[in-house]
Amino acid sequence: MKSKNRPLLPSLIRKKDDYIKRTNRGKNALKLGDQAPAFSLPNQQGKLTSLSNLLSKGPVIVTFYRGSWCPYCNLQLKALQSRLPEIHDLGAQLVAISPEVPDNSLTENEISKMSFEVLSDQDADVAAKFGVSWKVPDFVLAHMKVDHQLDIEKINNGNANIMPIPATYILNQQGIAVWRFVDVDYRVRSEPEDIINELKKLV
Protein backbone atom coordinates (compact mmCIF):
# COMPACT_ATOMS: atom_id res chain seq x y z
CA MET A 1 0.00 0.00 0.00
CA LYS A 2 1.43 3.36 -1.01
CA SER A 3 1.29 6.00 1.68
CA LYS A 4 -1.19 8.81 1.19
CA ASN A 5 -0.60 10.06 4.70
CA ARG A 6 0.24 13.74 5.04
CA PRO A 7 1.08 15.60 8.24
CA LEU A 8 -1.88 16.68 10.33
CA LEU A 9 -3.06 20.26 9.95
CA PRO A 10 -1.60 22.61 12.61
CA SER A 11 -4.97 22.93 14.36
CA LEU A 12 -5.30 19.13 14.54
CA ILE A 13 -1.72 18.79 15.79
CA ARG A 14 -2.48 21.19 18.65
CA LYS A 15 -5.71 19.34 19.43
CA LYS A 16 -3.92 15.97 19.36
CA ASP A 17 -1.04 17.28 21.49
CA ASP A 18 -3.50 18.62 24.06
CA TYR A 19 -5.20 15.21 24.12
CA ILE A 20 -1.87 13.45 24.66
CA LYS A 21 -0.95 15.77 27.53
CA ARG A 22 -4.34 15.28 29.18
CA THR A 23 -4.17 11.51 28.98
CA ASN A 24 -0.43 11.37 29.80
CA ARG A 25 0.34 8.80 27.11
CA GLY A 26 3.59 6.87 27.47
CA LYS A 27 3.87 7.32 31.23
CA ASN A 28 3.84 3.53 31.73
CA ALA A 29 6.41 2.73 29.03
CA LEU A 30 8.89 -0.01 29.92
CA LYS A 31 11.79 1.61 31.77
CA LEU A 32 15.52 1.02 31.67
CA GLY A 33 16.39 -1.99 33.78
CA ASP A 34 12.94 -3.55 33.35
CA GLN A 35 12.46 -7.08 32.06
CA ALA A 36 10.77 -7.05 28.67
CA PRO A 37 7.50 -9.01 28.48
CA ALA A 38 7.62 -12.24 26.51
CA PHE A 39 5.81 -12.34 23.19
CA SER A 40 5.24 -14.57 20.19
CA LEU A 41 3.84 -12.87 17.07
CA PRO A 42 3.25 -13.83 13.43
CA ASN A 43 5.33 -12.43 10.60
CA GLN A 44 3.92 -11.58 7.17
CA GLN A 45 3.87 -15.28 6.24
CA GLY A 46 1.99 -16.13 9.43
CA LYS A 47 5.01 -17.85 11.04
CA LEU A 48 5.36 -17.19 14.77
CA THR A 49 8.48 -15.47 16.06
CA SER A 50 9.14 -15.38 19.80
CA LEU A 51 11.23 -12.93 21.78
CA SER A 52 12.93 -15.83 23.57
CA ASN A 53 14.12 -17.24 20.25
CA LEU A 54 15.47 -13.86 19.16
CA LEU A 55 17.26 -13.37 22.49
CA SER A 56 18.90 -16.79 22.17
CA LYS A 57 20.96 -15.25 19.35
CA GLY A 58 21.99 -12.06 21.15
CA PRO A 59 20.65 -8.58 21.99
CA VAL A 60 17.40 -7.53 20.31
CA ILE A 61 16.23 -4.16 19.00
CA VAL A 62 12.45 -3.95 19.28
CA THR A 63 10.85 -1.07 17.42
CA PHE A 64 7.12 -0.36 17.40
CA TYR A 65 5.70 1.44 14.36
CA ARG A 66 2.22 2.56 13.33
CA GLY A 67 2.02 0.79 9.98
CA SER A 68 3.30 0.65 6.41
CA TRP A 69 0.97 3.56 5.59
CA CYS A 70 3.00 5.92 7.82
CA PRO A 71 5.78 7.78 5.93
CA TYR A 72 7.68 8.53 9.14
CA CYS A 73 7.72 4.80 9.98
CA ASN A 74 8.96 3.96 6.50
CA LEU A 75 11.79 6.48 6.78
CA GLN A 76 12.82 5.18 10.20
CA LEU A 77 12.81 1.54 9.12
CA LYS A 78 14.70 2.32 5.91
CA ALA A 79 17.35 4.04 8.03
CA LEU A 80 17.60 0.96 10.27
CA GLN A 81 17.73 -1.31 7.22
CA SER A 82 20.74 0.66 5.94
CA ARG A 83 22.58 -0.07 9.21
CA LEU A 84 21.49 -3.69 9.47
CA PRO A 85 24.94 -5.13 8.55
CA GLU A 86 26.45 -3.21 11.49
CA ILE A 87 23.64 -4.34 13.79
CA HIS A 88 24.26 -7.97 12.83
CA ASP A 89 28.04 -7.57 13.15
CA LEU A 90 27.42 -6.48 16.74
CA GLY A 91 25.49 -9.71 17.33
CA ALA A 92 22.05 -8.11 17.54
CA GLN A 93 18.69 -8.83 15.92
CA LEU A 94 16.11 -6.26 14.79
CA VAL A 95 12.36 -6.79 14.95
CA ALA A 96 9.69 -4.28 13.90
CA ILE A 97 6.15 -4.57 15.28
CA SER A 98 2.89 -2.96 14.15
CA PRO A 99 -0.85 -3.75 14.45
CA GLU A 100 -1.17 -4.46 10.71
CA VAL A 101 -2.69 -7.84 9.95
CA PRO A 102 -0.38 -10.40 8.25
CA ASP A 103 -2.26 -10.91 4.98
CA ASN A 104 -1.44 -10.64 1.30
CA SER A 105 -1.40 -6.84 1.38
CA LEU A 106 1.27 -6.88 4.09
CA THR A 107 3.54 -9.14 2.05
CA GLU A 108 3.45 -6.61 -0.79
CA ASN A 109 4.40 -3.47 1.10
CA GLU A 110 7.83 -1.91 1.21
CA ILE A 111 8.52 -2.66 4.87
CA SER A 112 7.87 -6.38 4.41
CA LYS A 113 10.74 -6.55 1.91
CA MET A 114 13.29 -5.40 4.47
CA SER A 115 15.82 -7.85 5.85
CA PHE A 116 14.53 -8.10 9.41
CA GLU A 117 11.53 -9.57 11.19
CA VAL A 118 8.28 -7.65 10.66
CA LEU A 119 5.61 -8.85 13.08
CA SER A 120 1.87 -8.29 13.47
CA ASP A 121 0.63 -7.23 16.91
CA GLN A 122 -3.16 -7.39 16.62
CA ASP A 123 -4.89 -4.74 18.75
CA ALA A 124 -1.41 -3.59 19.86
CA ASP A 125 -1.48 -6.13 22.70
CA VAL A 126 2.32 -6.46 22.91
CA ALA A 127 2.70 -2.69 22.64
CA ALA A 128 0.36 -2.44 25.63
CA LYS A 129 2.56 -4.84 27.61
CA PHE A 130 5.53 -2.59 26.82
CA GLY A 131 3.42 0.37 27.93
CA VAL A 132 3.55 2.06 24.53
CA SER A 133 0.00 1.69 23.23
CA TRP A 134 -2.55 4.48 23.24
CA LYS A 135 -6.14 5.12 22.21
CA VAL A 136 -6.22 7.30 19.12
CA PRO A 137 -8.93 9.99 19.35
CA ASP A 138 -11.80 9.75 16.89
CA PHE A 139 -11.00 13.13 15.30
CA VAL A 140 -7.56 11.85 14.23
CA LEU A 141 -9.03 8.66 12.76
CA ALA A 142 -11.67 10.70 10.93
CA HIS A 143 -8.98 12.96 9.48
CA MET A 144 -6.98 9.95 8.29
CA LYS A 145 -10.02 8.30 6.70
CA VAL A 146 -11.42 11.38 4.98
CA ASP A 147 -8.24 13.24 3.98
CA HIS A 148 -5.90 10.30 3.42
CA GLN A 149 -8.30 7.50 2.44
CA LEU A 150 -6.81 5.36 5.19
CA ASP A 151 -9.22 2.88 6.72
CA ILE A 152 -7.16 1.83 9.75
CA GLU A 153 -9.90 -0.52 10.96
CA LYS A 154 -9.61 -2.49 7.72
CA ILE A 155 -5.80 -2.36 7.67
CA ASN A 156 -5.60 -3.64 11.25
CA ASN A 157 -8.46 -6.12 10.80
CA GLY A 158 -10.52 -4.69 13.61
CA ASN A 159 -9.35 -2.29 16.28
CA ALA A 160 -8.39 1.04 14.72
CA ASN A 161 -8.39 3.04 17.95
CA ILE A 162 -5.41 1.35 19.58
CA MET A 163 -1.99 2.09 18.10
CA PRO A 164 1.56 1.92 19.36
CA ILE A 165 3.51 5.01 20.27
CA PRO A 166 6.54 4.87 17.95
CA ALA A 167 9.12 3.49 20.39
CA THR A 168 12.41 1.63 20.15
CA TYR A 169 14.09 -0.54 22.78
CA ILE A 170 17.40 -2.35 23.00
CA LEU A 171 17.19 -5.50 25.10
CA ASN A 172 20.32 -7.27 26.27
CA GLN A 173 20.48 -11.04 25.92
CA GLN A 174 18.73 -11.42 29.28
CA GLY A 175 15.78 -9.43 27.95
CA ILE A 176 16.51 -6.36 30.08
CA ALA A 177 15.85 -2.93 28.57
CA VAL A 178 19.24 -1.19 28.39
CA TRP A 179 18.25 1.64 26.03
CA ARG A 180 14.98 3.14 24.91
CA PHE A 181 13.51 5.93 22.82
CA VAL A 182 9.86 6.74 23.50
CA ASP A 183 8.20 9.88 22.15
CA VAL A 184 4.45 10.38 21.76
CA ASP A 185 5.10 12.70 18.80
CA TYR A 186 4.99 10.31 15.83
CA ARG A 187 7.24 12.67 13.83
CA VAL A 188 10.16 12.21 16.23
CA ARG A 189 12.14 8.95 15.94
CA SER A 190 15.29 7.35 17.31
CA GLU A 191 18.56 7.75 15.43
CA PRO A 192 20.26 4.58 14.11
CA GLU A 193 23.64 6.00 15.17
CA ASP A 194 22.51 6.11 18.81
CA ILE A 195 21.36 2.48 18.55
CA ILE A 196 24.68 1.38 17.05
CA ASN A 197 26.64 3.20 19.77
CA GLU A 198 24.58 1.53 22.49
CA LEU A 199 25.03 -1.90 20.96
CA LYS A 200 28.80 -1.39 20.98
CA LYS A 201 28.63 -1.11 24.78
CA LEU A 202 27.17 -4.62 24.94
CA VAL A 203 29.97 -6.27 22.95
- Domains by residue range for the chain, with CATH: 28-202 (3.40.30.10)
pLDDT at 29 (0 to 100): 94
Residue 4 CB coordination number (10 Å): 12
**Phi-psi sector, 181: left (phi>0), alpha (psi -120 to 50), beta:** beta
* 70 classed as catalytic: no
pLDDT at 3 (0 to 100): 38
Angle 123-101-158 from CA coordinates, rounded to 5°: 50
pLDDT at 51 (0 to 100): 97
pTM of the entire predicted model: 0.81
- Nearest to 20, CA basis, from 163, 176, 124, 159: 163
Cα separation, 135 vs 82, whole angstroms: 32
Cα separation, 82 vs 192, whole angstroms: 9
- Nearest to 167, CA basis, from 41, 31, 24, 5: 31
Catalytic residue among 30, 41, 62, 73: 73
Cα separation, 165 vs 64, whole angstroms: 7
Instruction: Give mean pLDDT in consecutive 10-residue pieces for the chain, a chain of 203 residues.
Output: 44 52 68 97 89 96 91 91 96 94 58 83 92 79 62 64 90 97 88 96 88
